[in-house]
A and B are shown apart, each in its own frame.
Chain A
């Protein structure tokens, strides 16, 4: 299976939030800083999320992108029971790593952020909110030796793994994407804000809004989703 059906997309970046739900908001219009606070959820999505501002930036960006993709309406509660999450990241939890490492010399380390040094924890916040009980996979695509440039041969690995899972019949739906969220430069890497999420299904699904093709490494595999959102 070299393709799948796209059911929805959402993005969060330095400009704002957009998605196939029909929402477009800019941080300047919202008078907020990416990736927002609980107020963002209320203002943009008319939704309460009491713990939103306590979770890490990766999770916040992904959750807003999922809201923009209208995840809760695109997939039924039953479908979400075995929906997989497969997300790739360049920087991973680098900002959290740096913050936690800075506390190592202290008498009391910053234990509260330690779990978020693993990107799977951020994906867990997504699973928790939407009850996505399929497999959860966090893929790494950054080679520190190559600086901040994305290697096109590696980018899109989450999409390739998504297509493999669907091809094997291991799952019927996947929330796939990419996330990197760092407000300030750290460890020589520039600040970045990007979460792109797409909800995909096996190609026999008839009510899609587009087709996910096998990323061949020749271009940004997430560009098509961004153009579908804005």
Chain B
């Protein structure tokens, strides 16, 4: 899989922020995931909705000093995550900074209530851009559950083309009745905590999430991580089910690694999509197994984290990118929580205990979404 070599400006990560079921901050998130904890708890805020699952990864009750309405959570938590990311990035200038907002449904308050949000990501993007006093017009995209990864690629492209030097990627989604009953109606929810790749897996667990990533063209502002490559693909097979051969995820993976100018064997760890649905896990394992088939018996060590944070939908790609970066920084792959008996293509290398890495230079993050959408991004230390 070769791609034309095109002069692109390098893109670096300058700052990170997150709000998740583990609470406020990237460190809380990463410590929770890398020590094998789970934020999936009995439903509280969403407990009154009649859906067939007990557990979700809601933001912890009382996390904020004042009560915030559910439909205001996307905006509020996006700003909190941004504040953390800007602090790590050294409070970069905002006049020439753009925003890419990645989400599935943004604010639904006008559809499921009397608010103003009609599910338009741009509505939230404009609010956030105004709140943050960003100088460049915002962009907003929805690529289903691959939104976060596609958002990173979209923002990186702005810098790569020289359009601007700094970009903020925000990815956010909050579970609500619309989403819970949608996934519930499709029979896609695990009644208990989800168990990706396990023989007993029965579906996904959902979660709240917001993540912010500041990207920069200036290496001196970097945290030592580069967005080395990114790519997308489409299964072109079925709009809600995956390709049984994992063609799309394999294509996105190989394209992103080639985009980074790397070989398959250069990748040291993978953060998976790993929803816990029978078909998605199966096709993801086959697709990645096939992608590495010509160079190795097994893939690089891989992990998922939806059994810990819940599936944060449009935010997942960014939250999980932070975890992929943490894997590089910590030189290890955490255990796959909930996995006891693997029931997928065994070429997918899934540690059930913490795996220390002898080399941690390049991490791959992959994501999939409705519509056959696939995204992949490579981070390099």
Give A contacts to B, CB under 8 Å.
1, 82, 84-85, 91-94, 97-98, 100-101, 104, 108-111, 114-115, 117-125, 127-128, 130-145, 153-154, 157, 161, 164-165, 167-170, 187, 189
Contacts and interface: CB of A to CB of B under 8 A. Distances in A.
Q: Which of A110, A120, A130, A157 has its CB near the most chain B CB atoms (within 10 A)?
A: A120
B74 interface: no
A209 B151 CA distance: 32
Contact of B150 (A92, A135, A164): A135
B4 interface: yes
Interface string B137-159: 10111111010001001100110
Given A117-B105, A168-B160, A97 B119 contact: yes
Nearest to B123: A144
B371 A123 contact: yes
B135 interface: no
A201 to B, nearest CB: 13
Contacts of A85: 234
Contact of B239 (A115, A132, A153, A168): A115
Nearest to B6: A169
> For the complex, would chain A's binding face be called helix, strand, loop or mixed by DSSP majority?
mixed
A137 B150 contact: yes
B260 interface: no
Contacts of A120: 142-144, 146, 369-371, 373
A136 B122 CA distance: 18
Interface stretch (B29-37, B63-71, B175-183, B291-299): B175-183
A144 B371 contact: no
B263 to A, nearest CB: 19
A85 B184 CA distance: 29
Contacts of B110: 144, 187
A166 to B, nearest CB: 10
A104 B161 contact: no
B108 interface: yes
Given A100-B182, A142-B120, A164-B161, A84 B232 contact: yes
Contact of B186 (A114, A131, A136, A170): A114
Contacts of B104: 118
A115 B240 contact: yes
A115 B241 CA distance: 11
Contacts of A138: 141-143
A82 B139 CA distance: 24
Nearest to A85: B234
B182 to A, nearest CB: 4
A118 B375 CA distance: 16
